[in-house]
A = this chain, B = another copy of it.
């Protein structure tokens, strides 16, 4: 799909939004599974199918500097009797990217009538 540097795909937008909201609600971090449930609720979507899509997006975003992460302390996970999580935080760059991506929503919004009314 060859991305234009700096642009965000819908899933990335969702991740940033959900991630920021989770943190605002008091969580210092968020992890993939949590985000998956969060997004599922909002978008109702069956996106991320087996979560593969989501984890790849998280990776990608971290490499792009929009997120930073660290592995949860294995002892803590063990104490809770569940698999270890990878804990993410939205970086300043991530917040900026979200803001930038949101603003242009009005630029170029030329009310294009979805060409395609004339069948073939």
Which residues from chain A sit less than 8 Å from chain B, CB to CB?
71, 74-75, 77-78, 83-84
How distant is the Cα of A71 from the Cα of B78 in the complex, in angstroms? Answer: 9
Q: Which 9 A-B pairs have the closest CB atoms?
A: A74-B78, A74-B74, A83-B83, A74-B75, A78-B84, A74-B77, A71-B78, A75-B75, A83-B84
A70 to chain B, nearest CB (A): 12
Contacts A74-B75, A83-B84 supplied; 7 other A-B pairs, CB < 8 Å: A71-B78, A74-B74, A74-B77, A74-B78, A75-B75, A78-B84, A83-B83
A32 to chain B, nearest CB (A): 15
Chain B residue, CB-CB nearest to A78: B74
How distant is the Cα of A78 from the Cα of B74 in the complex, in angstroms? Answer: 6
Note all chain B residues with C-beta closer than 8 A to A84: 78, 83
